[in-house]
Amino acid sequence: MSEPQLSLVFIGLGSNLEHPVTQIKKARVAINRLERVQEVAFSSLYQSSPMGDKDQPDYINAVMAVNTNLKPIDLLRRLQQIENQQGRVREGERWTARTLDLDILLYGDQHIDIPDLLIPHYGIADRTFVLYPLYEIAPKLDIPGFGHISDLIAKIPFDGLEKMTT
């Protein structure tokens, strides 16, 4: 039986606790160690204000492109294991401080809507800390259901986002 076809997948990485830059770098290494996952590109790191409660540290964000033939739900479970290994605590509230947040933003051109996974990611078109690093590594990307990334970027100002030199 042949292996499933490779898909290009974009993963959003974010952290604002316990040395966020280190958390993102460790997550990149851990993702690269996953079986049947190969890095294609990794964006610069970006600093952004937190969503929700503003009484928390700024976030460090990046986007990683990988090729994989894992099923989307299997990739999600592996990413959640990495989050847990890096101290992620799930309290049920959205937009709280965290050591690591890994989100599957896009999985090829698939639309997926199952209880634990919505692809394209529901916030992909509205978040500077996702769009700008995504644009950096995939400037010709068409996002299923949302349009061309350059059109989305044109609607969202860079304000509040800082590209890091690290």
Q: Interior CA angle at 1 toward 112 and 117, to 5°?
A: 15
Annotated catalytic sites, by residue?
A: 88, 98, 101, 103
Strands (E), 25-89: 37-42, 46-48, 59-68
For residues 105 and 143, the answer to whether their CB atoms sit within 8 Å is no
Measured CA to CA, the distance from residue 166 to residue 20 in angstroms comes to 12
